[in-house]
Amino acid sequence: MPVTVVVGGQFGSEGKGKVAHFLAREMRAAAVIRVGGPNSGHTAVNSRNEAIIFQQLPTAALLPNVLCVVPAGGYLDPQRLLHEIRSVELPRERLIIDPWAVVIEDADRDRERLVGLREAIGSTLSGTGRALQRRIGRVGGVRFAKDERSIASYVSPAVPILRKLLDRKERVLIEGTQGFGLSILHGLDYPHATSRDTTAANFVAEAGLSPLDVDDVVLVIRAFPIRVGGNSGDLPGEIDWDVVTRESGSPVGVVEYTSVTRAVRRVARFSPDVVRSAIAVNNPTKLALNHLDYVDYAAGQVNRPTPRVGLFVRQVSSSIGRPIDYFGFGPATVVPSYEAEMRQLA
């Protein structure tokens, strides 16, 4: 069945939102499902070349005629969600929120702050983890989307609608969240993990679909992996942004801030270990490699591989045992790999 899952292969912020936006457009997806909660931000560039950060909606909200879905496995900040709906003028008929998505309470954010999650593991303190904890506690008091009046006009069972699309062989895309290295089940640095599993299999379950529906898994990685600032866990080969700026040849300083908390991200050289583990668990059909403009600033100016990028891509591909299918340059550009051009650069 025609389901594509976009999943992160490192520690988040690999550029999944940009890749999901690109694939939804290229595949003419009928629907895109945004799993997870507001603890991660996905960025895409609109038609006016403005970078838009989404914490709740899929980045395909910027495209025409794509149905946006928040599934039963989603976690909602209604105020944030309504802000995003207004900011992109998303029509009511283009958004479905499953009745069993969980609403995050102010008390969830307060609790995460009081127990010191930011200091302990670098949490964004969005309340997502605490809401999930309350849900699996099963002691009552959980508020679901069906109970939230402010979003009532968007609430409808998602699975029957998705199943109808799949029965018509229309493409459905699942926009995964965070990265494999942050998985509570499979991450390599527990307890420095997020509150949930971050693999393709779990995203399919949260969306309410079957593994038999999936014919495409796209693993997204980045040239220089990052982690959020603070005590967020091990980051092999850690460097600083001055090194990235200098080696890329950028005329201006290169630095990244987290989409949600606006803190400076930690950054490191590419390490294959976590990516090889992500490949073993997710068994992707395709790989996308982003932030190649950090390898060579000149490549980002033309959105094509330069000799320096070509060498880097070959090294990455060799180290993880898989070819790279998509290249990412800058905040907006994703292009298929140029096999002939790469051979010329070899």
Q: Tell me: the pLDDT tens digits for 103-152?
A: 998 887 877 787 676 666 566 777 787 888 889 888 778 999 999 999 99
pLDDT value at position 340?
A: 46
**Average pLDDT for residues 143-172, to the nearest whole number?**
97
- Residue 17 — very low, low, confident or very high, per pLDDT cuts 50/70/90? very high
Torsion (CA) 88, 42, 74, 203 in degrees, nearest 10: 130
Tell me the sheet residues that pair with 8: 220
Q: Is the pLDDT of residue 342 over 60?
A: no
- Residue 225 — very low, low, confident or very high, per pLDDT cuts 50/70/90? very high
pLDDT value at position 346?
A: 54
Tell me the sheet residues that pair with 329: 333
Q: Is the pLDDT of residue 234 over 80?
A: yes
Tell me the sheet residues that pair with 5: 174, 217
pLDDT value at position 39?
A: 84
Only one residue has tokens 């009552």, namely 140
pLDDT value at position 345?
A: 55
pLDDT value at position 131?
A: 85
Tell me the sheet residues that pair with 6: 175, 218
Give whole-number Cα distances, 148 to 18, 33, 97, in Å.
30, 20, 11
Query: Is the Cβ–Cβ distance between 69 and 33 less than 8 Å?
Result: yes
pLDDT value at position 92?
A: 96
SS3 content of the chain, % helix, strand, coil (to 5): 40, 20, 40
Mean pLDDT of the chain: 92
pLDDT value at position 257?
A: 86
Distance of CA 28 to the CA centre of its chain: 19
How many Å apart are CA 293 and CA 278, to the nearest integer?
23
pLDDT value at position 275?
A: 98
Q: Around Cβ 20, how many Cβ atoms within 10 Å?
A: 29
Which residues lie below 8 Å from residue 140, measured CB to CB, with a gap of 6+? none
pLDDT value at position 118?
A: 67
Distance of CA 82 to the CA centre of its chain: 20
Q: Which domains does the chain have, with CATH numbers?
A: 3-345 (3.40.440.10)
Q: Is the pLDDT of residue 260 over 70?
A: no
Task: Report which of residues 47 and 71 the model is more confident about.
Answer: 71
> And the tokens for 227?
């982690």
**Largest Cα–Cα distance of the chain, in whole Å?**
63
- Residue 270: name the closest of 334, 325, 332, 314 by CA: 314
pLDDT value at position 138?
A: 86
**pLDDT tens-place string over residues 279-329:** 999 999 999 999 999 999 999 999 999 999 999 999 999 999 999 999 999
